[in-house]
Amino acid sequence: MTTSQQTAATLPAFPRASRVLSTTTFEAYRGITAGIDGWFSIPAVAIWDALLSFQAEQSIHGHLFEIGVWEGKSAALMAMHARSGEKLVLADFELKPKAIRRALSSAGIGEGVEVIELGGDSRALHMYPIHPECFQKVRWMHIDGQHSARAVSSDMALANQLLAPDGVLVIDDFFSWLYPQVTEAVLRYVRQFPDDFTLFLCGYNKAYLCRTHFAHRYLEFCAQELPEALSARGVESTLAKTTYPAEMNTFGIGPVFQDLTRRGPDWEPDMLRY
Ligand SMILES: C[S@@+](CC[C@H](N)C(=O)[O-])C[C@H]1O[C@@H](n2cnc3c(N)ncnc32)[C@H](O)[C@@H]1O
């Protein structure tokens, strides 16, 4: 038996945690989302809510930062997960303060959460005082501003300065046919700075990255808990890892495929390695 055969034989297929994270915030968000204009699909909401609940459970603290707010649809979920002492930083080229405040008040911002609105081009954010204040202290960052490769690269460079060691960076319109340059910019940046970012999950239009030294924790969460966490939120999905981790250690998540909750490689569909 070769070493890889031995590893495959001893690895439990689809190890699973027995608990499901609380869905209270997700249910509350579902009650307000229809009243806010914007782009945020329910499967993406469920993934965010699951990952943010995991952060809460793991006592991961830090600020929440969004580039590209529009009327606050995704910012409202960030607001619901923000805890006392954390900042919610909302940056947009053309801020819509009235609409954003309406969204945040329907979300109900927690006591002790500081909301900071920043108007202007995200490429100038590194010159704002918020940059040193948030340096390496952001636990959740969403890049959803200008969808040019140049802007995405620049926003990722900012995220590289701001993201905490245990934070998550989300990038919108990853693998979108409308914005192929976004996918190119994300993969190029990760390839250029493999010690800074790992792409641990993608699906439902978004890329999820974390610090490379923390990737094992988010990968483990995806493998063991994500499908059940989504199901508890009414989103049935298939989590896939269709190659060896040494080739690409990224989970894909999408609509149910072949009636499976978890899907390994074509040559070994019941084995998830990460
Ligand atoms: C797709 S919308 C954001 C959607 C929002 N996240 C939601 O949940 O509905 C894109 C936003 O990015 C903003 N934007 C475009 N170019 C930008 C730039 N260079 N810097 C900052 N924001 C930008 C636009 O003003 C717009 O509000």
Flag whether 138 is in a domain: yes
Closest by CA position to 19, among listed 57, 48, 62? 57
Are the C-beta atoms of 192 and 242 separated by less than 8 Å?
no
Predicted local distance difference test score (pLDDT) of residue 1:
37
Flag whether 45 is in a domain: yes
Q: What percent of the chain has pLDDT over 70?
A: 93
Ligand 1 in contact with 73 (CB < 6 A)?
A: yes
Q: Looking at residues 174-189, what average pLDDT do you find?
A: 98
Specify which of 13-17, 19-23, 243-247 reaches the highest per-range mean pLDDT.
243-247
Atom of ligand 1 nearest to the CA of 151: 19
Q: Which residue has the higher pLDDT, 16 or 193?
A: 193
Tell me which DSSP letter residue 148 carries. Answer: S
pLDDT beyond 60 at 8: no
Max distance between CA atoms of the chain, in angstroms, equals 66
pLDDT beyond 80 at 121: yes
Predicted local distance difference test score (pLDDT) of residue 18:
61
Flag whether 254 is in a domain: no
CA 75 to chain centre: 13
Residue 253 tokens read as 């998540």
Q: Which residues contact 90 (CB under 8 A, 6 or more apart)?
A: 66, 69, 72, 75, 100, 115, 116, 117, 118
| CATH code of the domain containing 160 | 3.40.50.150
What kind and span of H or E run contains 221?
helix 215-232
Q: Looking at residues 145-159, what average pLDDT do you find?
A: 98
Closest by CA position to 145, among listed 70, 47, 77, 201? 70
Mutate to test the pocket of ligand 1, among 118, 144, 155, 182 (most ligand atoms within 8 A of CB): 144
Which residues span the domain enclosing 181? 21-236
Atom of ligand 1 nearest to the CA of 92: 22
Flag whether 216 is in a domain: yes
Cut 0.75: pTM above it: yes
Q: Which residues pair with 118 in a beta bridge?
A: 91
- Give me the number of domains the chain comprises: 1
